[in-house]
Amino acid sequence: MKDRKKPGFFRVLFWCTLLLFFSGFTLSHLRLYFQEGFQLRLLSTWRPPAMEVISGDSASFLTISVQETVIFPDQVLVFLKYPPSTRLFTINDIDCVYLLVPNSSEPHLKLHPVWIDDQYFGHQIIRCPLQTHGRIVSIEVKSSGSLVPKPAYRWDSLAYEAILDRDNTTVVFVKGLNLRSGKVSDPSKFECIFGWDLRKPKFVVRSHVVTVAQEIVRCKTPPSILNSDQGFDTNINDSIKVSVRVVGRQTLKSVARLKHRLEPATLSKKRHEMCICTMLRNQARFLHEWVMYHGHIGVERWFIYDNNSDDDIEDVIETLVSKNYNITRYVWPWIKTQEAGFSHCALQASDSCEWVGFIDVDEFFHLPLGLSLHDVIKKQSRGSEVAELRVPCHSFGPSGLKKVPVKGVTVGYTCRLSGMERHKSIVRPEALNSTLINLVHHFHLKAGFRSVNVNGNRLVINHYKYQVWEVFKEKFYRRVAAYVSDWQHKRNVGSKDRAPGLGTKAVEPPDWSTRFCEVRDSGLKERVLKTFTDKKTGRMPWQN
């Protein structure tokens, strides 16, 4: 709430009068604005903030602009576009400003941004608090003035990512088609739209859809776009936008730009045998142990889809990268998109990974017989038609602990349930069905490929699912933030998704530390202690 201007009496009077007088006009204007997303004229007092280019010709001044605005349930994401080599803003450089009418020169409200993320393909994502009044949001650069706002799109009816696949089709990730899960839909009912500005019918190119299923549409890429150099720019500097429409209906709004192009397939072996894709939110403190351990058993590359973390994940990843772990973080602000995120990751990984495992940060591959991942993968995939290894999971409980274990989760938690949980998969991205359908961690495979169930004595996943209360209780809030089933809601008490026997409040049950404990299992603990304990200090490398 910093920097919020006190409304003077005359300003209030002015606004009230204006609002009353123009209310009819204002409302329809706003509605039109949201429905049609028409382009705004310049704000009357708008001037571009002049930012000095840090490298290169110091006399040149370039413009920073709002490229997209997307409304989420609790925040508004403003994507800022920068000229190359410009210093990025920090949270102290800017304010979120809220306007009542698109061309108003006086902001209705000014608020501090909630968070800034600077890794979105050379863009910055500014998270602004959502306001019911003044839903037209822009960014004010302190001492420089406001940027021209862009029409705000809703997150749940939007084309939001696009990748050019190595077969030259374009894979578009969309919300709002409401297609059946796990089923292939009829591609002839859809159409793909490409262009620099999708609102200008004269300048868009249409193409037909190759496959469509769930929230993924595979489009034929128009030759004019394939052959243009400008289509793919890692900076999304004016790169091509893609969207989709149901034939005969309106084109979905789009923020999806063709910013990735996968390398053409080569016959030679992939660079990495085993990679991991994960999606996480605010779990940086678990990353060290998880990455180092998996590196030790043979994982060579990590793709981390960051679901809006506001912890110190960037620093943690930087530290790990400096120790030669090959980790890439993708900012993945989209919600209710876990399946799509996995498909996106599988595509990214298909360039360089023979196999990809999809696990969470509280899950660890464990090899009870002391083998390496390489051994197991080689043995299990002897038939070249095997393209999915289904690995069983064990769920660990708090194991009698009341405090976060200092030596890490693998050393701390040693008691689990006896039954197996739903398994997780390791797949060959090459063999995925081109629809990229995936459901609870299972991808559909191309015809001719099959899966095998891995014997849990060889390879199993230790899922540290029920950790000490201090950690576990965050699931209550995390769920809320992620808009999956809300654990604080009575309606969801019976949901399969939650721990049994809990109420709707994050209150520690008196016997929490002894729950979920049926079998003592310290196999992974022993391997980790033996491998990682520092001989001099007795500490683990990830210990604080």
- Residues forming the site for ligand NAG (CB under 6 A): 44, 83-84, 103, 167-168, 184, 226-227, 230, 233, 237-238, 271-272, 279-281, 301, 307, 326, 335-338, 352, 433-435, 444, 446-447, 478, 482-484
C-alpha pair distances (Å), 526 with each of 241, 368, 412, 425, 538 = 52, 10, 11, 25, 14
Residues 6+ apart with CB under 8 A from 143: none
User: Measured from the CB atom, is 434 or 533 closer to ligand NAG?
Assistant: 434
What is the smallest separation between the CB atom of 308 and ligand NAG, expressed in angstroms? 8
User: Measured from the CB atom, is 182 or 523 closer to ligand NAG?
Assistant: 182
Residue 405 DSSP SS3: coil
The residue among 322, 354, 356 whose CA lies nearest residue 342 is 356
User: Measured from the CB atom, is 74 or 518 closer to ligand NAG?
Assistant: 74
The residue among 42, 39, 255 whose CA lies nearest residue 148 is 42
What is the smallest separation between the CB atom of 526 and ligand NAG, expressed in angstroms? 28
What is the smallest separation between the CB atom of 534 and ligand NAG, expressed in angstroms? 25
Helix (H) or strand (E) holding 318: helix 313-322
What is the smallest separation between the CB atom of 295 and ligand NAG, expressed in angstroms? 12
What sign does the CA torsion over 346, 348, 351, 353 have?
Answer: negative
User: Measured from the CB atom, is 164 or 252 closer to ligand NAG?
Assistant: 164
- Per the DSSP assignment, residues forming a β-bridge with 66 are 80
Tokens read off for 88 = 């990025």
Length reported for the chain: 544
Q: Which residue is nearest to ligand NAG (CB)?
A: 352
What is the smallest separation between the CB atom of 278 and ligand NAG, expressed in angstroms? 8
What is the smallest separation between the CB atom of 479 and ligand NAG, expressed in angstroms? 8
C-alpha pair distances (Å), 165 with each of 52, 157, 168, 430, 464 = 37, 23, 5, 12, 36
User: Measured from the CB atom, is 18 or 452 closer to ligand NAG?
Assistant: 18
What is the smallest separation between the CB atom of 206 and ligand NAG, expressed in angstroms? 18
User: Measured from the CB atom, is 274 or 517 closer to ligand NAG?
Assistant: 274
Residue written as token pair 């080599």: 85
User: Measured from the CB atom, is 354 or 521 closer to ligand NAG?
Assistant: 354
- Per the DSSP assignment, residues forming a β-bridge with 63 are 50
Residue 541 DSSP label: T
What is the smallest separation between the CB atom of 310 and ligand NAG, expressed in angstroms? 13
Distance linking the first and last C-alpha atoms of the chain: 35
What is the smallest separation between the CB atom of 20 and ligand NAG, expressed in angstroms? 17
Number of C-beta neighbours around residue 324 at 10 A = 7
Alpha helix segments (H runs only) across 387-498 = 409-412, 469-472, 474-482
Residue 129 and residue 75 in contact, taking contact as beta carbons nearer than 8 Å: yes
Distance CA 236, CA 259 (A): 6
Distance CA 100, CA 136 (A): 7
What is the smallest separation between the CB atom of 5 and ligand NAG, expressed in angstroms? 19
What is the smallest separation between the CB atom of 413 and ligand NAG, expressed in angstroms? 19
User: Measured from the CB atom, is 423 or 479 closer to ligand NAG?
Assistant: 479
Number of C-beta neighbours around residue 209 at 10 A = 21
Residue 445 DSSP label: B
The residue among 158, 94, 113, 104 whose CA lies nearest residue 136 is 104
Beta-strand (E) ranges in 383-449?
Answer: 386-396, 415-427, 438-439, 442-443
User: Measured from the CB atom, is 334 or 542 closer to ligand NAG?
Assistant: 334
What is the smallest separation between the CB atom of 304 and ligand NAG, expressed in angstroms? 10
User: Measured from the CB atom, is 116 or 213 closer to ligand NAG?
Assistant: 213
Distance CA 491, CA 186 (A): 35
User: Measured from the CB atom, is 387 or 468 closer to ligand NAG?
Assistant: 387
The residue among 256, 457, 236 whose CA lies nearest residue 337 is 256
What is the smallest separation between the CB atom of 514 and ligand NAG, expressed in angstroms? 27
User: Measured from the CB atom, is 279 or 471 closer to ligand NAG?
Assistant: 279
User: Measured from the CB atom, is 96 or 445 closer to ligand NAG?
Assistant: 445
Tokens read off for 172 = 């578009």
Residue written as token pair 């230790």: 462
Residue 94 CA from chain centroid, whole number: 24
